[in-house]
Amino acid sequence: MSTIDNERLKQVAFLIIIILLGALLFSELYTFFPGFLGAVTFYILGRNYMFRLVEVRNWPKPLAAALIMVLSFLIILLPVGTLINMVTDKIKYAVKHSDELMAQTQGVIQKIEEATGFKIISPERLQKAQEYLTGILPGFVGTAFNTLTIIAILYFILYFMLINARRMEESLYEYIPLKDENVVKLGKEVRNMVISNAVGIPLIAVLQGLTALLGYYIFGVPSPWFWFVITCFMAMVPVIGAAAAFIPISLFMFTVETWRGVGLLLYGLIIIGSSDNVFRLVVNKKIGDVHPMITIFGVLVGVSLFGFIGLIFGPLLISLFILLLEIYSNEYFTKKREVKIVRSGPNQKNKMLKTKEKDKEEE
């Protein structure tokens, strides 16, 4: 008995050392964690193409990995980087000319208040909003510069993941302390989650942004491509959505020409608003659904942890956490239920086996 207790104490002590060392490493490498998440995301999206190039077409591994990395950059990162750069330039201009822009904004608000007869915002609150925005916008620009470091780390990790893909997956399969069926389930579910979060959410946002762009051209919105970018970013934010982009610009257009402002507002509420549901229905059938609650809390957590790219990785982390809870329940609680049933009698055990066989036939 004492020998068993000593072995368990050694095991617990060893686990504590591993956890403490892992926490220390994570705290020091935390700033690179988004790059690691990005590498895992790109690996999952490109692994099948890697295997096809290497194992079917007999390409050298470095060449196949380089091709996938270049394509991922051209198809995903370059367009996103261009859009972010466009917004960054506008933010720099807004910070430099904040007083002028705030005076223009106050003039627009005054015109709307005179036309509608409603008090929108007091000068004091507007001044506080200016101070708040002036404080956070430079941080957003700094985040954009940090993104370059994250991208470099992303591709550094991704290259070695692609080169050692088979060996890495076999090692994970062997060393993850779960039953084989749960390891397989974990792999499938992680792939589905990554595709749903990293592809589904941005794709719906871009489609909604293109719908808004058409309206911006129809009603003569100045700098329509800039507002297209803002709409895409806002469309990824739950609850508020694209309305955070088209409502302010509609109010501005109302001061230019009334019919344009009203027309754009109606277009936004009817066309842009309903397009979100249509695109979500179509995309979710092909890719997979993400529960709105996961998106809401994922965005809140992700933006707090990682900044802007947390819009993608936040929901992914919450989905992964929920999946791990399900697997933990399946791994350990199922065993306890089985032991309890076996102890209570053979009839209940046979009933449990029949139920399992019936479930398998239904699947």
**pLDDT for position 41:** 85
Residue 189 clears pLDDT 80, i.e. is over it: no
Residue 358 clears pLDDT 90, i.e. is over it: no
Q: How far apart are CA 182 and CA 328, in angstroms?
A: 9
Side chain identity at 275, as an amino acid letter? S
Helix, strand, coil % over all residues of the chain, rounded to 5:
90, 0, 10
Mean pLDDT computed over 306-316: 70
Give the angle 41-47-49 at the CA atoms, nearest 5°. 125
Question: Which pLDDT tens digit goes with each residue over 120-154?
Answer: 666 666 666 666 666 655 555 555 556 777 788 88
**pLDDT for position 294:** 74
Reported confidence tier of residue 299, pLDDT bands at 50, 70, 90? confident
Percent of the chain scoring above 70 in pLDDT: 67
Q: Report the mean per-residue pLDDT for the chain.
A: 75
Number of helices followed by number of strands (H, E) in the chain: 17, 0
What region does 121 belong to: left with phi over 0, alpha with psi -120 to 50, or beta?
A: beta
- pTM of the model as a whole: 0.70
Question: Which pLDDT tens digit goes with each residue over 257-275?
Answer: 878 888 888 998 889 888 8
Structural element, H or E, at residue 72 = helix 61-72
> Greater confidence, 18 or 135?
18
Mean pLDDT computed over 270-299: 75
Q: Which of 8-17, 54-63, 71-80, 277-286 has the lowest mean pLDDT?
A: 277-286
**pLDDT for position 363:** 46
**pLDDT for position 159:** 93
Reference 323, options 194, 237, 167, 236; nearest CA is 194
Residue 37 clears pLDDT 60, i.e. is over it: yes
Side chain identity at 235, as an amino acid letter? A
**pLDDT for position 171:** 83
Mean pLDDT computed over 289-307: 71
Highest-confidence segment of 101-105, 135-139, 185-189: 185-189
What is the per-residue burial (b if ≥16 Cβ within 10 Å, else e) of 153-163? bbbebbbebbb
Six-digit token string for 246: 């088209």
Mean pLDDT computed over 322-343: 63
Question: Which pLDDT tens digit goes with each residue over 227-242?
Answer: 888 888 888 776 777 8
Highest-confidence segment of 130-144, 200-214, 313-327: 200-214
Reported confidence tier of residue 4, pLDDT bands at 50, 70, 90? low
**pLDDT for position 289:** 62
> Greater confidence, 334 or 107?
107
**pLDDT for position 69:** 92
**pLDDT for position 156:** 92
**pLDDT for position 140:** 53
Six-digit token string for 345: 């009698």
Reported confidence tier of residue 341, pLDDT bands at 50, 70, 90? very low
Six-digit token string for 112: 């709307």
Residue 338 clears pLDDT 50, i.e. is over it: no
